[in-house]
Amino acid sequence: MIVDYIESYRDRFGVEPICTVLSEHGCPIASSTYYERRRCPVTAAELEDAYLANALFTLWDQEWRVYGARKLWHTARNEGLDVGRDQVARLMRLVGIQGVVRGRHRTVTTRSDRGAPRHPDLVGRAWDAPTATDELWVADFSYVWTLAGFVYVAFVVDVYSRRILGWRVSGSMRTQLVLDAFHQALHVRHRDDGHWTSQGLIHHSDAGSQGGFNWSSHTAPPDRGVATTS
């Protein structure tokens, strides 16, 4: 995906400047990596690994992110995926996921912060309740596979229209990644309608510490009508 992006804009901006900007914004890639990939395109085996890795991550996420290689392998086989146990273990390491191991640390995308203020749940999983756009936005945070490796993705979606209003990609988990996606969503709405106001809008996210918004400093005054919920 990154190589295709560079290829699309290389004639306009040049390979080196594009790589520099991408690296500065959390997606490190050297120009030599781009040229090497052009000489050696993605192989069928690499594409198969990418699809399988994404499928395994989805299954792992659906099983509350607790399955290790053995249980995830059985689940994948039951879902019709032709994959071996060692292959599952290798792809799990590639994605950066693992099962729950008592007394040991595991990699997750949501970091709970028990000391942070917990906003009330204003949604109650009533995802079909909105009757118009900009009544409810939801935010999420996950992994995505690219030719440069697995990266973190934060995005904001309008529940009624299902439109992705804001998104950001980074090689590391950080609060600013989530905030940038939120600010992009606000910018998109202001750009589409210069008189738009977020009064009455509910922004819903999980209880991860990456989403610790500070409305007095992170949001412009016209957007203080946003209610946050988790």
Same domain, 199 and 145: yes
Domain annotation covers residue 146 = yes
- 1-60 pLDDT, tens digit per residue, is 688 888 888 898 899 988 888 888 878 888 888 888 888 777 888 889 989 999 999 999
Domain annotation covers residue 125 = no
pLDDT on residue 99: 84
Domain annotation covers residue 116 = no
Same domain, 31 and 82: no
pTM over 0.75: no
- H/E element holding 165? strand 164-170
Q: Could you tell me which residues come within 8 angstroms of residue 153 by beta carbon, excluding any fewer than 6 positions away? A: 141, 142, 143, 144, 167, 168, 169
Please say whether the beta carbons of 136 and 129 come within 8 A: yes
Q: Residue 150 belongs to a domain with what CATH number?
A: 3.30.420.10
Domain that holds residue 25: 2-39
Residue 103: band (very low, low, confident or very high) from pLDDT cuts 50, 70, 90? very low
Same domain, 57 and 28: no
Domain annotation covers residue 12 = yes
Same domain, 62 and 15: no
Q: Which residue has the higher pLDDT, 174 or 37?
A: 37
Q: How many domains does the chain have?
A: 3
Full DSSP string of 11-36: HHH-HHHHHHHHHHTT----HHHHHH
- 215-229 pLDDT, tens digit per residue, is 433 333 344 445 555
